[in-house]
Amino acid sequence: MNGRFAPLLQKRGTIEDPSRVIITASVAGIGVGTLGKNATYGYSASKAAVIHLGKNLAVELGPRHILVNMIAPGFFPSKMANELIKMTGGFEELAAGNPSRKLGRPEDIAGLVVFLSSRASAHVNGAVITVDGGEVHGRTPMKVIEAPESKAKL
C-alpha cells in the first residue's frame, strides 16, 4: 500500500477532501466465528488481521490525507455463505435470530460505500463499521455447526 498506491492517493487527497481506502473485512474478525467441525478459525483470524491492518494504515496514512475505513459485513446470501447459512438452519432461521430480523442485501453495503466515499465521511478514519443488523452485538454464544455425517468427515 505505501509503496505503489499511497503516493497516488496522497497526490489526490486534500485536508478538505481526502482520498479513501475502504477495506472489506467481516464480523468474523470482530467476534467468535463458526465453531465445531466446520470451524472457520483461519477465516476469522484473517479478517481480524485485515481489520488491524486497516487501523494501522489509518494512523499511518491519515496525516497524508488518506482515510482508511473497514466494512465488516455479517451474513449476506452469497455463493460463499449460502452453504454455511443452510448448515445453521437456513435463511429464515438465521434471519429470525438477527435483531433486525433479516439478512443483509447488496444495497446495505452499497449505501455504506457511497457514504465512506463521499465528503460526508471526511472525518471518519480507522472505523470498523458492521453491516449485520446488530447481530454481532446481540449475539448469544455462537452455535457449534455440525455437518451431516454423510457430507463431511474430519
Residue 149 included in any domain: no
Residue 154 included in any domain: no
CATH of the domain at 125: 3.40.50.720
Question: Which of the four pLDDT bands, split at 50, 70 and 90, describes residue 39?
Answer: confident
Active site members: 43
CA dihedral 105, 107, 109, 112 (to 10 degrees): -150
Residue 1 included in any domain: no
| Predicted local confidence at residue 144, as pLDDT | 47
Q: Is the pLDDT of residue 143 over 90?
A: no
| Predicted local confidence at residue 141, as pLDDT | 47
Domain that holds residue 72: 22-136
The chain-wide mean pLDDT, for the chain, equals 85
Give me the number of domains the chain comprises. Answer: 1
Query: Average pLDDT, stretch 124-129?
Result: 98
Residue 7 included in any domain: no
Residue 16 included in any domain: no
Q: Is the pLDDT of residue 116 over 70?
A: yes
CA dihedral 55, 136, 37, 25 (to 10 degrees): -30
Query: Average pLDDT, stretch 24-40?
Result: 82
